[in-house]
A and B are shown apart, each in its own frame.
Chain A
């Protein structure tokens, strides 16, 4: 016995830490930067069932070059398998989906007319085809939704959100054919209401029903005049027409006179929808979230359908207001920008809430350095790890912006 302890002691004494007896930490958590020279900003993240990821962003290599769409296929440890950029005109990638065995990307083109480019690439990042779309001059996409018929709806707006804009929902078939011009039933691309109407996300409820989530300053009380901006949803009917639709007075978030800018809407796993955005009160920003009843199998557009409507975080400052969310089985993760000290210095906050919007962590987890670090996407892996995609401005003083992908533990930390 004593001899065994003696040998055990000796073994421990002479044991050497090597890759054979220490676990590689990057298998459990990591932080990786993506991009080349210049600025690369993150937009969206897709988690694949094989453990790999697709990252969507924008890349501006020099001050005189056009911004291009950036796509990277990344392995489970955050290493690039392949990365590409594309775009002859100055581009602004907004969203992407995997549909029909392809990667489908929607980006705004800063051409004279300002239109939308929908592109398809193979999963190996080889080009398939693309189509330019618009609802008229100055058409801007915010998101892309893959439909059950193989087609897509591009949600966004037409116009200028600081002056006058119209909610826009471009639809194409699986062959990227524009519904508005070729489909016999016709398709209404826009819904004009108030002076500011912006579409953020469309979610398909059934083959013929699509829910639009956005924000507007329309005064729904009597459908006349304008009021402060509020979260706004309505069902896009089979023909896409919003104007005159009897379902128009759908849902407007409650609250005071401050502007509430929706930035993301997701379907909650257990039912219902989670809407997140920024509520601007004077010179400060707050994280606002609304969640509909989980008992709803379809969206209940009556105010009673909203069972939680909360300000989750305050004092987020002023800058680029943005929040995004991800729904897990029992919980939801929300990622938001916080501009604490100035409009050029921001960090990323991650919080976990339950389906009643009750925070699950003592404080949000904060990521960032001394530059403008902003949120893009959040997801949960099947093993409970959390993936966060964002943009960080590297350097001291801050210089270039890089896309950052972080794999976190279940508590949102870069550790085991």
Chain B
């Protein structure tokens, strides 16, 4: 029974593919026939010759050739409405088709200037890795001997995922925004030489970054570089602090220390401490970035390198809890929070699905200016 079903499926598939191949062959012949008719100056019959294959049979590439032929024919027949409609159908078949005066008839080229298929909105998805660098505004430590605490910043990896949308102002310029969830992390190692105490402070933060930037991109080719600059609103939604390190045990009072540990570095690992009360929720940053898009069918994949330069101080309540009380972290670890901005470097890999919208151009700018009364309408 099973073998019979399998044989049936394979057979049906072969027959269906054969029909498709045959249809393709026939439509190619139809297209060649139409081209010959066009060359012979018989334009009127072209729509009926191509009609059947346009409905069902042409490949995308064949559709482009067919609609280009029809556009030329309607232009010659002085039927601009039908010519425009044919060109619009051409753009729907290949939204990135750009008429070229050296390749296409000049009247088609001029007709193409009335159209665009640039997407109004371009959504995209992205994800990748990042690393953060705190930039101290004020070093607020609990050490009293200047220069007795050496500080070393250690880069840590985080990740980000998000969605974005570009409002395409033209084929090159876009106003872009989006929302990214970012896990950012950084580490500061303090060597308190006078206490022979090394403290590693690892801060893990959860952010929602909402950038708004202006992007310039090359609008043709398989590989399309882009660059952008703008601002971002950064919402710091969660911060956890982990303190660990080593302590050279020479003297331990009332701690029940094992005498065998004396003179040896003793590791310690503190618990995870939520410190949202020490961080500002709403922050801003400058956004710079660039990358390349690679055309993949009608869509794109891209890589984006972005630098967000923090503009606002993230820290508050350096010594206290949210209600102004003494923070036990001061006594447990000698920890007080520096005032700092946070810079972030990220690399993202993304997928773009342009929402192509082939359409006739409107005189948007002129209309807009008139609406804003920057330009007087002629009466």
Partners in one complex: yes
Q: Give bound CA distance, A366 to B257, whole Å.
A: 28
Q: Give bound CA distance, A413 to B330, whole Å.
A: 14
Q: Does A290 sit within 8 A of B, measured CB to CB?
A: no
A353-383 vs B, Cβ < 8 Å mask (1 yes, 0 no): 0000000000001111111110000000000
If A22-B339, A79-B145, A395-B255 touch, does A369 touch B194 (CB 8 Å cutoff)? no
| Partner of A13 from B143, B284, B317 at Cβ < 8 Å | B284
Pairwise interchain contact B138-A24, C-beta atoms closer than 8 A? yes
Chain A residues in 8 Å Cβ range of B194: 35-37
Q: Give bound CA distance, A69 to B257, whole Å.
A: 25
Q: Does B276 sit within 8 A of A, measured CB to CB?
A: no
Q: Give bound CA distance, A62 to B317, whole Å.
A: 35
Chain B residues in 8 Å Cβ range of A405: 144
Q: Does B336 sit within 8 A of A, measured CB to CB?
A: yes
Pairwise interchain contact B255-A17, C-beta atoms closer than 8 A? no
Q: Give bound CA distance, A396 to B273, whole Å.
A: 13
Q: Does A31 sit within 8 A of B, measured CB to CB?
A: yes
Q: Give bound CA distance, A72 to B144, whole Å.
A: 10
Question: Shortest distance in angstroms between A351's beta carbon and chain B's nearest beta carbon?
Answer: 14
Residue ID in chain B nearest A366 by CB atoms: B326
Chain A residues in 8 Å Cβ range of B231: 13-14
Pairwise interchain contact B332-A32, C-beta atoms closer than 8 A? no
If A36-B195, A37-B194 touch, does A370 touch B311 (CB 8 Å cutoff)? no
Pairwise interchain contact B195-A22, C-beta atoms closer than 8 A? no
B319-339 vs A, Cβ < 8 Å mask (1 yes, 0 no): 110001110111111101001
Question: Shortest distance in angstroms between A385's beta carbon and chain B's nearest beta carbon?
Answer: 14
Question: Shortest distance in angstroms between A372's beta carbon and chain B's nearest beta carbon?
Answer: 7
B interface residues, how many (CB within 8 angstroms):
46
Pairwise interchain contact B144-A37, C-beta atoms closer than 8 A? no
B136-155 vs A, Cβ < 8 Å mask (1 yes, 0 no): 01101011111000000000
Chain A residues in 8 Å Cβ range of B138: 19, 22, 24-26
Q: Does B299 sit within 8 A of A, measured CB to CB?
A: no
Chain B residues in 8 Å Cβ range of A365: 325-326
Q: Give bound CA distance, A397 to B332, whole Å.
A: 8
B334-351 vs A, Cβ < 8 Å mask (1 yes, 0 no): 101001010000000000
Residue ID in chain B nearest A62 by CB atoms: B251
Chain B residues in 8 Å Cβ range of A66: none
Pairwise interchain contact A33-B253, C-beta atoms closer than 8 A? no
Q: Does B246 sit within 8 A of A, measured CB to CB?
A: no
Q: Does A98 sit within 8 A of B, measured CB to CB?
A: no
Pairwise interchain contact B250-A14, C-beta atoms closer than 8 A? no
Q: At the interface, is chain A mostly helix, strand, loop or mixed?
A: loop
| Partner of B251 from A18, A60, A368, A415 at Cβ < 8 Å | A60
Pairwise interchain contact A370-B319, C-beta atoms closer than 8 A? no
Q: Does A384 sit within 8 A of B, measured CB to CB?
A: no
Q: Does B312 sit within 8 A of A, measured CB to CB?
A: yes
Pairwise interchain contact A17-B312, C-beta atoms closer than 8 A? yes
Q: Give bound CA distance, A344 to B254, whole Å.
A: 8
Question: Shortest distance in angstroms between A298's beta carbon and chain B's nearest beta carbon?
Answer: 40
Pairwise interchain contact A34-B144, C-beta atoms closer than 8 A? yes
Pairwise interchain contact B284-A400, C-beta atoms closer than 8 A? no
Chain A residues in 8 Å Cβ range of B248: 37
| Partner of B325 from A29, A35, A366, A392 at Cβ < 8 Å | A366
Pairwise interchain contact A399-B311, C-beta atoms closer than 8 A? no
Question: Shortest distance in angstroms between A348's beta carbon and chain B's nearest beta carbon?
Answer: 9
Pairwise interchain contact A415-B254, C-beta atoms closer than 8 A? no
Pairwise interchain contact A33-B318, C-beta atoms closer than 8 A? no
Residue ID in chain A nearest B336 by CB atoms: A31
Chain B residues in 8 Å Cβ range of A368: 326, 328, 331
Q: Does B247 sit within 8 A of A, measured CB to CB?
A: yes
8 A Cβ contacts from A282-302 to B: none
Q: Does A227 sit within 8 A of B, measured CB to CB?
A: no
Chain A residues in 8 Å Cβ range of B341: 16-17
Pairwise interchain contact A399-B319, C-beta atoms closer than 8 A? no
If A18-B137, A80-B146 touch, does A399 touch B331 (CB 8 Å cutoff)? no
Chain A residues in 8 Å Cβ range of B106: none
Q: Does A39 sit within 8 A of B, measured CB to CB?
A: yes
Q: Does B270 sit within 8 A of A, measured CB to CB?
A: yes
| Partner of A33 from B137, B320, B332, B334 at Cβ < 8 Å | B334
B5-32 vs A, Cβ < 8 Å mask (1 yes, 0 no): 0000000000000000000000000000
Pairwise interchain contact A79-B146, C-beta atoms closer than 8 A? yes
Q: Does A398 sit within 8 A of B, measured CB to CB?
A: yes
Question: Shortest distance in angstroms between B181's beta carbon and chain A's nearest beta carbon?
Answer: 24
Pairwise interchain contact B332-A369, C-beta atoms closer than 8 A? yes
Q: Does A15 sit within 8 A of B, measured CB to CB?
A: yes
Pairwise interchain contact B311-A17, C-beta atoms closer than 8 A? yes
Pairwise interchain contact A80-B326, C-beta atoms closer than 8 A? no
| Partner of B313 from A17, A39, A63 at Cβ < 8 Å | A17
Pairwise interchain contact B317-A415, C-beta atoms closer than 8 A? yes
Question: Shortest distance in angstroms between A376's beta carbon and chain B's nearest beta carbon?
Answer: 15
Pairwise interchain contact B142-A32, C-beta atoms closer than 8 A? yes
8 A Cβ contacts from B204-222 to A: none
8 A Cβ contacts from B241-289 to A: 247-248, 250-255, 257, 262, 268, 270, 284, 286
Q: Give bound CA distance, A61 to B195, whole Å.
A: 10
Task: Identify the interface centre among A29, A344, A415: most chain B CB within 10 Å of its CB.
Answer: A415
If A13-B284, A37-B196 touch, does A396 touch B270 (CB 8 Å cutoff)? yes
| Partner of B328 from A80, A369, A401 at Cβ < 8 Å | A369
Pairwise interchain contact A413-B332, C-beta atoms closer than 8 A? no
Q: Give bound CA distance, A36 to B319, whole Å.
A: 22
If A36-B194, A394-B331, A394-B334 touch, does A61 touch B251 (CB 8 Å cutoff)? yes
If A370-B328, A370-B332 touch, does A393 touch B313 (CB 8 Å cutoff)? no
Pairwise interchain contact A80-B144, C-beta atoms closer than 8 A? yes
Q: Give bound CA distance, A60 to B318, whole Å.
A: 30
Pairwise interchain contact B140-A33, C-beta atoms closer than 8 A? no
Q: Give bound CA distance, A370 to B311, whole Å.
A: 36
Pairwise interchain contact B324-A400, C-beta atoms closer than 8 A? no
Q: Does A78 sit within 8 A of B, measured CB to CB?
A: yes
Q: Give bound CA distance, A29 to B326, whole Å.
A: 12
Interface contacts beyond A31-B336, A393-B253: sample of 10 additional A-B pairs, CB < 8 Å, sorted by A: A15-B311, A33-B142, A80-B144, A372-B254, A393-B254, A396-B270, A396-B332, A399-B253, A400-B253, A413-B320
- Give 28 pairs: A residue, B residue, CB < 8 Å, sorted on A: A14-B311, A16-B312, A17-B311, A17-B339, A18-B137, A19-B137, A22-B137, A22-B339, A25-B339, A36-B194, A36-B195, A37-B194, A37-B195, A37-B250, A72-B144, A79-B146, A365-B325, A367-B326, A370-B331, A394-B334, A395-B247, A396-B268, A396-B333, A398-B255, A401-B253, A405-B144, A413-B320, A415-B317
**7 closest Cβ pairs, A-B complex:** A369-B331, A414-B319, A396-B332, A32-B144, A17-B313, A38-B251, A16-B311
